[in-house]
Structure 1
Amino acid sequence: MASLTCLPYTLPTVSPSSSSSSCTTCLVAGNPKRSRLGLKNSHRRQSFALTTRAAVDGVSSAVDDVSSAAKGAVDDVTSLGRSPLKLKLLSAVAGLNNGLAASEDDLRKADAAAKELEAAGGPVDLSTDLDKLQGRWKLVYSSAFSSRTLGGSRPGPPIGRLLPITLGQVFQRIDIVSKDFDNIVEVQLGAPWPLPPIDVTATLAHKFELIGTARVKIKFDKTTVKTTGSLSQLPPLEIPRIPDGLRPSSNPGSGEFEVTYVDTDTRITRGDRDELRVFVIA
């Protein structure tokens, strides 16, 4: 009977600490073909390990991409969730001529719709999102206009009563760098027959500052009146500012309001005299 040393290969002695690669080397040491086979198997294992690692890295990267996409989708869904509320608010103020034609019932509906959108949007923090105010905004509703004056509860000429004035579009132009805050009002002034009415754009220039996180204070600077239409060639007229000492207490030349909702295309403010205003980006 042949001894174990005469066998074409040597049986390895396997210990718990031995690695699989060392076992393979021992097993094929006496046979070149088996040795080459062992090397091939070793290369295959290494290749499989690298492939597996690449696959794991790919899955990890894909998970990160999915996480980013999921976060974006959540943001989109949140924005879309507010869209019906914005539509509800804009529908409530539509056809009210900026609030001039609003009844008591219209005022209540607009206020309720605004509160729903404000609640959905959460607290406004302009200390970090001041750039959201930047741009030209069109007024679509003011609760103060229901009193049928240009200034609402503030002093102002009556519309369609003593003076033949027709209110047109109202805009706010805000520049967060220069701190300019301009109220731009388009009005039509009646003229004695047979003269045509005069179209005028009045720009009430202010400077603004942020108070806290969502409150804005504006300080009046000057008023510029410019004719438009057939008289647009006339130069603008700057109305002198009333000195602070002569200014009536009812018209201090400054005011404050709180921005209660703002996104890329819609803004809600509530004034210091409970005035609700709704703007859309122009």
Structure 2
Amino acid sequence: MTMASLNLLPHSAPAVSHCVSSSSSSLVRSFVACKVQFFPTKGNLRTYQRKRFQRRRRRSLVVESALDEVSVVDPPPPPPPPPSFDQIASLKLNLLSAISGLNRGLAANEDDLRKADEAAKELEAVVGPVDLAADLDKLQGRWKLIYSSAFSSRTLGGSRPGPPIRRLLPITLGQVFQRIDIVSKDFDNIVELQLGVPWPLPPLEVTATLAHKFELIGFSKIKITFEKTTVKTSGNLSQLPPLEIPRIPDALRPRSNTGSGEFEVTYLDADARITRGDRGELRVFVIA
């Protein structure tokens, strides 16, 4: 009787709300039928497995799509440690050694120029860029020029037009200074000169002051604008009043001498400064 009931079951498994029988035989048949109906038949099993696979596949595609949209960015490398005081001091000493004995660049040859430039670049690379907005107060004061790569051209103007030294004119270059006032924006180039005069008179010592105004351009660049030149005698003729040389009108000024210039401060501390001019001139200063 049980087998007959199993054979009469349909291929699909209908839902059964309850299974109750008043007799024991009916109870057995109903219990067996209920137990069988809770398991899918062969046809329904394939459908059930296929749908379950499709649901899992859809979930997998969603997860893969989400992972594909996430871009993995490597963290930036840690910044290099700041240079030590000893390292900076060693590089400064190396630069001073490279330019010593060159008479501020007047006696430099091509090999001397290369060594000085390499020593300056090593110091600039280790310390990093200069921020004049934060270190403007370090510019204040009187600075002494101890090296200029442009002086190897043997002219007072360096790479710019200037009178020759000990060629056509009996001029001896003395000390060169820069006087910077960050409040008034004054930027003066001060040059000490000896001018030859007929014998038996002694050489004429003069100090020429080329007055400029300066302004900051960006983080480390400075623009200077020429205003006037003042010449003052020294030595035995120091009692003479200063002489102001008239400024050449802009219409008569050569294109190569516009009265302004730009340079970049590539190294700056309390007692040393390195600059690079708009024509590739390397200059080294120390506080006077």
Give the TM-score taking structure 1 as reference length: 0.72
State yes or no: 1:232 paired with 2:210: no
1:126-145 deviation line (CA, Å, top 9, x unaligned): 01111111110000000000
State yes or no: 1:154 paired with 2:154: no
Equivalent residue number for residue 172 of structure 1: 178
Mapping for residues 1-282 of structure 1, pairs under 5 Å: 78-282=84-288
Kindly provide the amino acid, as one letter, of the partner of residue 222 in structure 2.
V
Instruction: Provide the rounded CA distance (Å) in 1 between the counterparts of 2:239 and 2:86.
Output: 46
Instruction: Provide the rounded CA distance (Å) in 1 between the counterparts of 2:175 and 2:85.
Output: 28
Helix, strand or coil for the counterpart of 2:212?
Answer: strand
Structure 1: stretches of 5+ with no match in the other structure: 1-73
Helix, strand or coil for the counterpart of 2:98?
Answer: helix
Helix, strand or coil for the counterpart of 1:98?
Answer: helix
Helix, strand or coil for the counterpart of 1:202?
Answer: strand
Helix, strand or coil for the counterpart of 1:102?
Answer: coil
Equivalent residue number for residue 52 of structure 1: none
Moved >6 Å (runs of 4+): none
1:208-241 deviation line (CA, Å, top 9, x unaligned): 0000000000000000000001110110000011
Kindly provide the amino acid, as one letter, of the partner of residue 257 in structure 1.
F
Kindly provide the amino acid, as one letter, of the partner of residue 152 in structure 1.
G
Instruction: Provide the rounded CA distance (Å) in 1 between the counterparts of 2:195 and 2:98.
Output: 29
| Structure showing greater Rg | 2
Instruction: Provide the rounded CA distance (Å) in 2 between the counterparts of 1:121 and 1:175.
Output: 25
Instruction: Provide the rounded CA distance (Å) in 1 between the counterparts of 2:179 and 2:94.
Output: 25
Structure 2: stretches of 5+ with no match in the other structure: 1-80
Instruction: Provide the rounded CA distance (Å) in 2 between the counterparts of 1:130 and 1:233.
Output: 36
Deviation at 1:154, TM superposition (A): 0.5
Instruction: Provide the rounded CA distance (Å) in 2 between the counterparts of 1:79 and 1:191.
Output: 50
Percent of residue pairs bearing the same amino acid type = 80
Give the TM-score taking structure 2 as reference length: 0.71
Kindly provide the amino acid, as one letter, of the partner of residue 225 in structure 1.
V
Kindly provide the amino acid, as one letter, of the partner of residue 163 in structure 1.
L
Deviation at 1:78, TM superposition (A): 2.0
Kindly provide the amino acid, as one letter, of the partner of residue 112 in structure 2.
D
Helix, strand or coil for the counterpart of 1:120?
Answer: helix
Instruction: Provide the rounded CA distance (Å) in 1 between the counterparts of 2:249 and 2:215.
Output: 21
1:71-114 deviation line (CA, Å, top 9, x unaligned): xxx98x82232001101101111111110000101000000000
Helix, strand or coil for the counterpart of 1:188?
Answer: strand
Helix, strand or coil for the counterpart of 2:95?
Answer: helix
Instruction: Provide the rounded CA distance (Å) in 2 between the counterparts of 1:221 and 1:173.
Output: 15
Instruction: Provide the rounded CA distance (Å) in 2 between the counterparts of 1:127 and 1:189.
Output: 41
Deviation at 1:246, TM superposition (A): 1.5
Instruction: Provide the rounded CA distance (Å) in 2 between the counterparts of 1:220 and 1:228.
Output: 24
Instruction: Provide the rounded CA distance (Å) in 1 between the counterparts of 2:165 and 2:213.
Output: 27
